[in-house]
Structure 1
Amino acid sequence: MDKLHDYAIDGVRWAMPTARVGGMDSGGDGGTFMDGFLRHVSSERNYAAGQVGTPTDFLSFHAKGQPRFVDGHVRMGIDVHLRAVNKGFDKTLSVPSLAATPVVIGESDPEGCAACPSLENGYRKGTMYSRYTAYSRYTAASFPRIWAMARRLNVNLEGVLTWAFEFANQPWFAGFRQLASNGIDLRVMNVFRMFAKLGPDQLAATSDAELPLDEIMAHGVRGQADVGTLATRTRDGKIAVLLWHYHDDDLPGPDAAISLKINGIRGKAPTSATLFRIDDANANAYAAWKRMGSPSAPNMTQYEAMGQASVMRPQSLALSAASRGTVAASVTVPRQGVALVVLDAR
């Protein structure tokens, strides 16, 4: 395998000298196979070129969760997923000469089988998927924890990818891991759009209802729900605040009544912000399809209605001045919902 890798990298670099190359994009942390790969690319003779080492612009591995069907409902496995990320990070740090190399989680998903529409994977149809997957990057609930873990371990995390497909000629909302069903966006697609509205500079943000990373890694989110936040400053100077209300058990639960305070407002405090929502009533083509009676062959009117229902539409959120440089708002986020607040703070 090392020989195959060396010749492949040599060929790619011959054809495209500036191409970024790396690996090994293992299933999970790669175990002893990953150990051997890291040893070879860092300190052993290159089969193709003869020198010591193989060009390695990034290191990669996969991390998956493990949903289960429990007592008539789906229970997600965010704890399994985060522990897998942690083990993968440990591998990337295990060789000192590679410890600063950019890391890409090549597949980061709630589970490992994109083409398995089973009972435990029923979360894909609803808001459970939209919160649990995402960002190129892995969801409102999981992504901030992955970033926090990377910061804590001093991992140079560059990107996180989902392993999702388009499944042609399949029933509507069949339960595969995909971003759209027969051309209609699923809610997870809107989460990617929501993440795209965040900025490159992360701001300090806290929630008294957000569960600690170590607790989630050890026990998941099985008791108290996880109501968390992530704040960023966008390139054009706005503040974007992500809010989520997550629980591993895909069951009804009370809404989260969030009192939001945003500090550091520059200049005159804005009186309103833009609010985006993804929940049972917003950006939800699946709910619209169910209201139609779950047609197996929607007509054009129904198709267009589902397309309209899938759109994540901006709403207005009233802000009040809490103190100098601080504004406040009240936001209700349903269980398994996500919200994004964007305000002009220039």
Structure 2
Amino acid sequence: MRTRRPSVCRLLALLLPTAGPIARVSAADAAFPVTVKIDAARPRGELKPIWRFFGADEPNYATMKDGRKLFRAHNLLTTGDGTPALKWGSTNAYTEDARGNPVYDWTILDRIFDTYRQRDLKPYAQIGFMPQALSVKPEPYQHEWRPGLPYNRVYTGWAHPPKDYGKWAELVYQWVKHSVERYGRAEVEGWYWEVWNEPNIAYWQGTPEEFHKLHDYAVDAVRRALPTARVGGPDTAGGGGPFLRGFLEHCLRGINHATGKTGTPLDFLSFHAKGAPKFVDGHVQMGIANQLRTIDGAFAIIASFPELKDKPIVIGESDPEGCAACQGPQLGYRNGTMYSSYTAAVFARKHDLAEKHGVDLEGALTWAFEFEDQPYFAGFRALASNGLDLPVLNVFRMFGKMGGRRLSVQSTADPGLEAMLKDGVRTTPDVSALASLEARRLSVLVWHYHDDDVPGPDAAVELSVSGLPLGRGEARVQHYRIDESHSNSYAAWKSMGSPIAPDERQYAQLEAAGKLAAMEAPAAVPIDGGRASVAFTLPRQAVSLLVLEW
């Protein structure tokens, strides 16, 4: 393992946004009791693996040394040589010769999608952005944004409409046709195809009607190349409000700009939902209510169209805030366990909100991948830092151990969905659970979350399960944990003195510290009358997964 050396000029970014919380209050001082009850005989339907979607701005990260360990990506059609940068990527798929004839080059796209397939990933293929040769405003094209500069500097020529919708459509057609030829019809039928990113804000420098036209031409081209392709959208910033409603009206009842017929195919629906963290009184204060309200509002709009209530929904970006590459003190949650507890708490409520509105939530995409060759734990919203897994990645590993039927859960420390929509988690902590049952396996994810990253007492959790299919006997319980001393490469790095360039031995230790860890060896738990119980202490901003097998 080589020593990895981040650039010294980035050290300020390393130091500023990543300070952890003040040391916790001792569990012995003030643990508070929580009872979590699970009825294994009361399933609430399938526990869909909505967590399984990931994405990043730079598509080429998927092929790089750390990206291969771990998608939706931006910039799949952007002009350039493929060199990555913050908020930038390119593939050079489309250029034109001196006479204005299209030149297609799939070299970089093939490298990206080959990597997806090697990892058995299903692409969420974003059709965008605008190639320079097609943009109505081709200059300036590649931006030079970096943290600290005004964000609107990213919106350059790639964000504009095409000067020729026919050429735009042909580019999309040729891309999908090429994909079918390279990967096979059956494989590409399983992909998700959507047009653009957040067209209701400055990512799209045209009007809503021009976006409808862009979308219609692209979707028609996809379906001409593969009539059974799965197409959807519009991946709005936030719930989309009037823009989302107008888009859905157009797709259901409007005149298609490409075909002249009524309607545009919609196989799935998509929007984005973000939280709103702040830096208050010297600490990070998360804004989980903002993200939940966005989801609640978008689900309500979709549910208002009877034709759409059964359409799968993908929350195309679903994160604690809106800019993975940005930095600042309000983003200091990213490296530690607060990101983990937030993720556990918010994903469970996404299931609750889908149930509330009677809609079909298929996925919620985490826009946090990795950033190559940055300082260790530099404060970006990521799943790993220079190949070292961050605590939040272990929440997804916990999710991956769950499946089957979702079960009813009651907790004495659950604030309730409506209260969280209104106020977030600003008073008493949220200590609750997500549970699933499959055959002879019960999985229970338990979190201890609070919006404020300040010290607080541990929770003394009494987990009580009833209705188990085994009336009497014994279960084997495995207890996984994310906290300051488990599944936490960041805490381990700090305990080493925060080395700028860990040596080979340190890197191996950090790599091991980042893996999902068990609290202890598996233990036996008695089952009597279909009932079992487990007691444990859960620190603030920690997450546990208990897996019972019999």
* TM-score scaled by length of structure 1: 0.94
Matched residue, 1:135:
none
Greater gyration radius: 2
| Structure 1 position 322, deviation (Å) | 6.7
Matched residue, 1:292:
496
Matched residue, 2:280:
70
What whole-Å deviation, never above 9, does each CA across 1:206-255 have from its counterpart, x for those lacking one? 11111101111111111111100111013x43000111100000112111
Matched residue, 2:466:
263
| Structure 1 position 331, deviation (Å) | 1.5
The structure 2 residue matched to 1:330, chosen from 535, 539, 543, is 535
Identity of aligned residues (%): 52
Aligned 1:123-134 pairs, distance under 5 A: 123-132=333-342
| Structure 1 position 318, deviation (Å) | 4.0
Matched residue, 1:304:
508
What whole-Å deviation, never above 9, does each CA across 1:50-88 have from its counterpart, x for those lacking one? 321111001110000000000000000001111111111
| Structure 1 position 100, deviation (Å) | 2.2
| Structure 1 position 317, deviation (Å) | 5.3
Between the aligned partners of 2:367 and 2:399, the Cα distance in structure 1 is 17
Between the aligned partners of 1:256 and 1:18, the Cα distance in structure 2 is 51
CA 165–313 in structure 1, closer or farther in 2 if over 3 Å, else same: closer
Higher alpha-carbon deviation: 92-101 or 22-31: 92-101
Asked if 1:246 is matched to 2:456, the reply is no
Matched residue, 2:352:
148
Matched residue, 2:412:
208
| Structure 1 position 313, deviation (Å) | 2.4
CA 9–271 in structure 1, closer or farther in 2 if over 3 Å, else same: closer
Give the number of equivalent residue pairs. Answer: 338
| Contact 1:25–1:106 under 8 Å retained in 2 | yes
| Contact 2:445–2:544 under 8 Å retained in 1 | yes
Between the aligned partners of 2:221 and 2:440, the Cα distance in structure 1 is 44
What whole-Å deviation, never above 9, does each CA across 1:85-108 have from its counterpart, x for those lacking one? 111112212322223211111111
Partner SS for 1:216 = helix
Aligned 1:1-346 pairs, distance under 5 A: 1-132=211-342, 139-234=343-438, 236-267=439-470, 268-314=472-518, 315-316=520-521, 318=523, 320-321=525-526, 323-345=528-550
Between the aligned partners of 2:347 and 2:366, the Cα distance in structure 1 is 12
| Contact 1:319–1:329 under 8 Å retained in 2 | no
What whole-Å deviation, never above 9, does each CA across 1:259-282 have from its counterpart, x for those lacking one? 111122333432530111011110
Partner SS for 2:344 = coil
Between the aligned partners of 1:145 and 1:70, the Cα distance in structure 2 is 25
| Structure 1 position 197, deviation (Å) | 0.7
What whole-Å deviation, never above 9, does each CA across 1:111-150 have from its counterpart, x for those lacking one? 0011112100000010011122xxxxxx211111111111
Partner SS for 1:261 = strand
Higher alpha-carbon deviation: 259-268 or 152-161: 259-268
Partner SS for 1:23 = strand
| Contact 2:473–2:528 under 8 Å retained in 1 | no
Between the aligned partners of 1:150 and 1:271, the Cα distance in structure 2 is 32
What is the identity, as a one-letter code, of the residue corresponding to 1:83? R
Between the aligned partners of 1:156 and 1:116, the Cα distance in structure 2 is 32
Between the aligned partners of 2:289 and 2:221, the Cα distance in structure 1 is 40
| Contact 1:259–1:330 under 8 Å retained in 2 | yes
What is the identity, as a one-letter code, of the residue corresponding to 1:15? A
Partner SS for 1:240 = strand
| Contact 2:474–2:527 under 8 Å retained in 1 | no
Between the aligned partners of 2:522 and 2:421, the Cα distance in structure 1 is 34
Between the aligned partners of 1:327 and 1:97, the Cα distance in structure 2 is 44
Partner SS for 2:474 = coil
| Residue segments in structure 1 that go unaligned for 5+ positions in a row | 133-138
Between the aligned partners of 2:265 and 2:271, the Cα distance in structure 1 is 17
What is the identity, as a one-letter code, of the residue corresponding to 1:253? G
Between the aligned partners of 1:19 and 1:186, the Cα distance in structure 2 is 35
Partner SS for 1:277 = strand
Between the aligned partners of 1:240 and 1:104, the Cα distance in structure 2 is 24
What is the identity, as a one-letter code, of the residue corresponding to 1:283? S
Between the aligned partners of 2:434 and 2:243, the Cα distance in structure 1 is 36
What is the identity, as a one-letter code, of the residue corresponding to 2:269? L
Structure showing greater relative contact order (alpha-carbon pairs closer than 8 Å, 6 or more residues apart)? 2
| Contact 1:272–1:316 under 8 Å retained in 2 | no
| Structure 1 position 46, deviation (Å) | 1.4
CA 331–319 in structure 1, closer or farther in 2 if over 3 Å, else same: farther
| Structure 1 position 312, deviation (Å) | 1.1
Partner SS for 2:353 = helix
Higher alpha-carbon deviation: 19-28 or 198-207: 198-207
Between the aligned partners of 1:308 and 1:322, the Cα distance in structure 2 is 34
| Structure 1 position 320, deviation (Å) | 4.3
Partner SS for 1:145 = helix
Partner SS for 1:242 = strand
- Aligned alpha-carbon RMSD (Å): 1.4
What is the identity, as a one-letter code, of the residue corresponding to 1:104? V
* TM-score scaled by length of structure 2: 0.60
CA 10–276 in structure 1, closer or farther in 2 if over 3 Å, else same: same
Between the aligned partners of 1:37 and 1:293, the Cα distance in structure 2 is 52
Partner SS for 1:295 = coil
| Contact 2:314–2:361 under 8 Å retained in 1 | yes
What whole-Å deviation, never above 9, does each CA across 1:17-36 have from its counterpart, x for those lacking one? 22210110100111222222
Matched residue, 1:136:
none
